[in-house]
Amino acid sequence: MRTLLTLTKSSIKMFYRNKQALFFTFFSPLLIMLIFGAIGLDKVQKIDVGLALSVPPTAGTAQFVEALKQVPSFTIHEGIESDLRDQIGNDKLSAVFLIPGDLIPDNPAPLESVLNPGLDTVPAAPAANTSETRTVTVLTNSGQAQQAGIAASIMGEVLDKTALKISGGASLFKLETQEINSNHLKYVDFLLPGLIALSLMQMSVFSTAFVFTNYKEKGILKRLIATPMRPATFVGANVITRLIVSFIQVFTFIIVGVLYLKAHVIGSYWLIALIAIVGSVMFLGLGFTISGFSKTTESVPALANLIVFPMLFLGGTFFPISSFPVWLQHIAKYLPLTYLSDSLRQVMTKAACFGDIRSDLLWMLAWSIILVGTANITFGFEEKRQ
């Protein structure tokens, strides 16, 4: 036990003294995060809004809708309310306008002018028979609060101006908003768990593959087994070190993501930690397997990238797997990284509970067994003479 403790301490010292490893472990993922944050992929010019009419529109309402379509910041998708609600849920829309068909009962003013800035001086139409107030409901996507807010305020403005035209200022319309939680939140909310998964993979694979191939190549492992130390103790100390590093990674990135990129992390931190452990063990197995196959440290990057690089794009880090062609989805969904990023995403953005991510965890366990198994076969302390 003392041996394990001392070895772990030594191994931690070596880890943080390795500047290159530190860079790839912490700074390069942070850099990616900061760059993506700066680019601001969330700032799309057009806001996708849905529009549903409760009953067939009156001529005036139809005209109002047509006019609304001319608003440059909107891309309007017409549909029925339940569909549009689903689309908010799937994060396809930022907001949905629910407009009563008889919003504008009859003979309204030419509304195009209302919607064109600078034409406010057009004389208002005489007040129509507007005994009751009509309500326009805006369903807002909580994950795209910013866009939804803009959509709602534009709608509010349009309604105000319309009311001004029709009745000369009487409050004809009422605007109500309802927040709807979407499944997928902002891009950064999607990105953050993916990036954490990615950096866990990179750290676990590269730090073991490089370090242990180096130990093997230089005869350090041989020197170690010339002592009564058990190889498992040494491997254990290194695994513990990397698990500690993986926790630091996860929480550093979460903190930066939340503070700097305003990401939302709503799930259980215990579950995140559990996923991080299982995911790291899985990729440590891969790292050891790679160093089992590599004779020299020079061959590590080639071999490791061959395996890791495709996962970087297909493992659900930067793009959702559902955006891939179907045949590719069939491959992508079985990748170890996919399970890691997916389960982290489920927990971090949807507060998934253990039961929700059980299948991801089981798949990761299966991969862990396979990869730790291959590591056991390929990687040994004793040098194998050809």
Partner 1 sequence: MVMENIIEVKQLTKKYKEVTAVDGISFSVSAGEIFGILGPNGAGKTTTLEMIEGLKGITSGQATLDGHDVSKHAHLVKSLIGVQLQSSSFFDLLSLKELLETFASLYNRKVDAMELLREVQLEEKAKTYVKELSGGQKQRFSIAAALVNDPKVLFLDEPTTGLDPQARRNLWELISTINKKGKTVVLTTHYMDEAEILCDRIAIMDNAHIVALDTTPNLLKLPGLETSLHFRVDKECSTEHLQKLEGVTRAEHEDHSYKLTTGNAEATLGSLFKHAKECGFKLIDLQLHQPTLEDVFLKLTGHALRE
Site mask for partner 1 (CB under 8 A), range 44-83, x = bound: ----------------------------------------
Minimum distance, C-beta of residue 31 to partner 1, in the bound complex (Å): 24
Site mask for partner 1 (CB under 8 A), range 179-218, x = bound: -----------------------------------xx--x
Q: How many CB atoms lie within 10 A of CB 90?
A: 13
Give dist(CA 281, CA 274) in Å, integer. 11
DSSP state of 354: G
Pick the closer one to partner 1 by CB: 150 or 229: 229
Q: Does 38 bind partner 1 (CB under 8 A)?
A: no
Helix (H) or strand (E) holding 50: strand 47-53
Q: How many CB atoms lie within 10 A of CB 279?
A: 29
Figure out which of the listed residues 35, 55, 226, 326 binds partner 1, where binding follows CB under 8 A. Answer: 226
Give dist(CA 189, CA 207) in Å, integer. 27
Pick the closer one to partner 1 by CB: 67 or 245: 245
CA-based max dimension of the chain: 100
Figure out which of the listed residues 110, 168, 219, 373 binds partner 1, where binding follows CB under 8 A. Answer: 219
Pick the closer one to partner 1 by CB: 43 or 384: 384
Q: Does 12 bind partner 1 (CB under 8 A)?
A: no
User: Using only C-alpha atoms, what is the Rg of the chain?
Assistant: 29
Q: Does 228 bind partner 1 (CB under 8 A)?
A: yes
Find the DSSP H helices in the chain: 2-17, 19-22, 28-39, 59-69, 81-89, 111-115, 145-167, 187-217, 220-225, 231-260, 269-293, 299-314, 326-332, 336-350, 358-378
Figure out which of the listed residues 174, 222, 262, 330 binds partner 1, where binding follows CB under 8 A. Answer: 222
Report which of 272, 270, 244, 242 is spatially closest to residue 257, judged by C-alpha positions. Answer: 272
Q: Does 17 bind partner 1 (CB under 8 A)?
A: yes
Q: Does 227 bind partner 1 (CB under 8 A)?
A: yes
Q: Which residues bind partner 1 (CB under 8 A)?
A: 2-3, 5-7, 10, 13-14, 17-18, 214-215, 218-220, 222-229, 382, 385
